[in-house]
Structure 1
Amino acid sequence: MKLLLKAVRIYDPSSAFHLQRQNILIENGIITSVGGNDQQADQTIELEDLCVSPGWVDLYAQVGEPGLEHKEDIESLAEAAAAGGFTDVLCMPNVQPIVQTKGAINFIKAKSAHLPVNLLPAGAVTVDTQGKELTEMIDLQRAGAVAFSDGAKPVQGAEVIVKALQYLQPFDGVLMNRPEHARLTEYGQMHEGIVSTQLGMKGIPALAEEVMVTRDMQLLEYTGGRLHFSLISTAAAVEAIRVAKAKGLQVSCDVASYQVAYTDHTLAAFDTNYKVSPPFRSEADKAAILQGLADGTIDAIVSGHQPQDTEGKKLEFDLAEFGIINLETAFAVANTTMRDVLSLEQLLDKLTSIPRQILRMPACGIAEGVPACLTLFQPDLKWTPTPESTRSKSRNSPFLGRELTGKVIGLVNKGQVVLNHSF
């Protein structure tokens, strides 16, 4: 099959055609021509202001299968990811049973082999993500785990962090950790501040993130290795990571694309769709995150996708589960809320090349003779996601019904074409 992408603007700094409008011809999943005058194809995609980049990579998403398929299964996650432009998604190990064996890694690989999205398994750092005994990370890496994290459960013990960093160094593995002190956040519902006091809700202090970032950085300096912080949310954490990078430590971090969309003031209506972890924080934290994105302190932008069923969300606020779905809206939310501080090129770097570098994935470019791994999008197209259009099994999102700027048109990956638009 021949697919022609006609007059698309190319966003790929490694390409000689970067920022140019060119034709791209794809035959049987391989890019055979870039910049030619090709006209004959089995299918032609042509839209005003259509752009193309190497496929996007998400460094943090929760999938329910196995064990929690009623929230999300592998097929629905892949459909949501494809609709959101992600050709590769790192899946956290928080399923039932935990992804901590070669069999669990092979299950994800086998179930997703035929799908257009690459689901990348993250192996658990500790047995049952309990933060005590290390898993057999070398065996998991050989089986196909591309990173190691306890996902939604932050690793608490300093001795565990030290051992894990040492354990991962022989194969240059990356330890990914959510920086949160569990005892300081116990029973917390939202960001600790004036609003939480006014609403009478137990707060989640910024300090809980900051002390763990500082501690883990000291441990990294002591042991060496590579450390990545997932879902940072506070000004002090951004500054600590900025200082660590200046020291030359191998540290990286990401932020959920929705983190600067709202602040703790939004929770005054007690809408559980705004209940996320880490929580929406203060205006000062929001400003610091935007600055960290602009100056490169924050390396990547992720979906932070955490599906929850209706029974977990339609409850009193203090009983409701944390999390929102965001694979389908991650780019649009970031493009809408961050465009004053990030150029489109900078935003795409945080979705493409930088995540690939963190996971030590092969480079992905737009060039003749290479397999097509592409995301198609219109950065200025306004659209409104709805519950009816959502591919995820869950509907826990504050963005349903909200107009966003930037629409994914489709992707080409693994010889498959997935389109959100009729041609």
Structure 2
Amino acid sequence: MNLLIKNAKIIDDTSSHHLLTKDILIENGVLSKIEDSIENTSNYETLKLENLHVSQGWFDSSVCLGEPGFEDRETLENGLNTAGKSGFTSIAMNPNSKPVFNDNAQIFSVKSKTQHHAVNLKPIGALTVNSDGVDLAELYDMQQAGTIAFYDYKKPISNPNLLKIALQYTKHLEGFVYSHPLEQKISGNGVMNEEKLSTMLGLAGSPNLAEAMQVARDLFLLEYTKGKLHIPTISTRESIDLIREAKIKGLQVTCSVAIHNLFFTDEMLHDFDTKYKVNPPLRTQQDIDALLEGLSNGTIDYITSDHNPLTIEDKNVEFEHASYGTIGLESAFGALNTLFSTEIAIKLLTRGKKHYQIESFSIEVGEKANLTLFNPDEDYLFDKSCVFSKSKNSIFLDHDLTGRAYGIISNNQIILGK
């Protein structure tokens, strides 16, 4: 691909051009010139966009795509196009398909179908067979096929001995174990955060304790095994305290937070709107404040959209019976850029790559073109016209956001959303 990008402000603190507005020439997928002004002597395609900014390509560590088995929710092709239009050059795909990804043939299949796409798909394999929580899946074979981690999506590992064995087994594999932070016997039938509001609304609550107990148990097992553990989408101040202590001890633990858990509190549930039903549930402002502090001091390693497409039938029912989840790729940048400065938002969208051994490319001459294109200053109402996903279950619908992705340049291809 040959392309001349005009008047782009570069946001990349690893680059000598950081915060400078430059023309960027891409030849055969490589950055060949970065200068104040570049003449288009070769008559290449020219890209000019309003208030154009560029950064290294973004990464999301928790994305569901549906296919195979749930193509009514989302397909691989449209899901990857959605990621690209939303600014992501790499995503990690959860194994909650049908069948669940729990052997090397399934991993080979999804990688083969997506290998030529602009968005780099990294499959996560199931930790246990069919994600049933009973027997370990073919972890080594899946890792050889290209799996980057092992996770029974949103399913807690109730058997502590199973997690112990998994941590021991994966110590010398490149992939690592995810453990969903929820003690189900404490959470029970809880469908929202357990606080005064849950009592007022008459909804069963899931307390902070249900998350913290599971995190504490998992960290004890991690300390015993000396393995590698990722705790996805934490939501409570207690979890942050536990993980901070574990990191001080030198344990190999990482954690993430879903963007919507930084943006909304449980107060959004007054009208029983099922778009706000997520797992973990929306918590209190005190929890959000602790999460934001955890991001700033490095206790929380990275963010995720926790993108989970669901059909109208999954959501348009009574609150207690609605499915958990929201799409989040399209709103990820706008939400983060509303909460943080643009530079911090970009760091949060890129710093998870190193944990998954995804190569980063600085915006310098000679580097591979792996770029996200965006406008950080556009204010808009996030509505269905902003949604590229096949499913429309966005928690951010009808909320004001600031900043919108234009698309990506990756794998010698360009994807634009507007």
| Sequence identity (%) | 41
SS of 1:255's partner is strand
Which of 82, 88, 91 is the matching residue for 1:89? 91
- State the match for 1:347 in structure 2: 345
| 1:190-205 correspondence to structure 2 within 5 Å | 190-205=192-207
- Cα pair 1:258 1:334 within 8 Å, conserved: no
- Cα pair 2:143 2:174 within 8 Å, conserved: no
Aligned residues: 416
Distance 1:150 1:398 in 2: 23
- What per-residue deviation string (whole Å, max 9, x for no partner) do you get for residues 311-354 of structure 1? 11110111111111111111111221x22xxx4333222211x2
Structure 2 gap segments, 5+ residues each: none
2:322 partner amino acid: A
Distance 2:386 2:224 in 1: 49
Instruction: Give TM-score scaled by structure 2 length.
Output: 0.96
- What per-residue deviation string (whole Å, max 9, x for no partner) do you get for residues 198-225 of structure 1? 0111101111110111111111111112
1:367 is the counterpart of 2:355: no
- State the match for 2:407 in structure 1: 410
Cα 1:207–1:11 change in 2 (3 A) is same
How far 1:384 moved relative to its partner?
2.6
How far 1:62 moved relative to its partner?
1.2
How far 1:132 moved relative to its partner?
1.9
Segment drifting more, 87-96 vs 375-384: 375-384
Distance 1:314 1:106 in 2: 35
| 1:307-386 correspondence to structure 2 within 5 Å | 307-336=309-338, 338-339=339-340, 343-352=341-350, 354-386=351-383
1:67 partner amino acid: G
- State the match for 1:5 in structure 2: 5
How far 1:134 moved relative to its partner?
0.9
How far 1:165 moved relative to its partner?
1.3
- Cα pair 1:94 1:152 within 8 Å, conserved: no
- Cα pair 1:166 1:223 within 8 Å, conserved: yes
SS of 2:357's partner is coil
| 1:279-298 correspondence to structure 2 within 5 Å | 279-298=281-300
- Cα pair 1:152 1:178 within 8 Å, conserved: yes
- State the match for 1:154 in structure 2: 156
Instruction: Give TM-score scaled by structure 1 length.
Output: 0.95
SS of 2:170's partner is helix
- What per-residue deviation string (whole Å, max 9, x for no partner) do you get for residues 224-260 of structure 1? 1221111110010011111111222111111111112
Structure 1 gap segments, 5+ residues each: none
SS of 2:373's partner is strand
Distance 2:246 2:313 in 1: 42
Distance 1:151 1:230 in 2: 10
SS of 2:124's partner is strand
1:420 is the counterpart of 2:417: yes
- State the match for 2:224 in structure 1: 222
Segment drifting more, 297-306 vs 111-120: 111-120
Which of 111, 128, 131 is the matching residue for 2:130? 128
Aligned-residue RMSD, C-alpha: 1.5
How far 1:401 moved relative to its partner?
2.7
- Cα pair 1:24 1:35 within 8 Å, conserved: yes
SS of 1:407's partner is strand
- Cα pair 2:51 2:375 within 8 Å, conserved: yes
How far 1:36 moved relative to its partner?
5.9
2:46 partner amino acid: T
Cα 1:389–1:48 change in 2 (3 A) is closer
Distance 2:204 2:266 in 1: 13
2:37 partner amino acid: N
Distance 1:389 1:240 in 2: 38
- Cα pair 2:178 2:230 within 8 Å, conserved: yes
How far 1:156 moved relative to its partner?
2.0
- Cα pair 2:303 2:349 within 8 Å, conserved: yes
- State the match for 1:76 in structure 2: 78
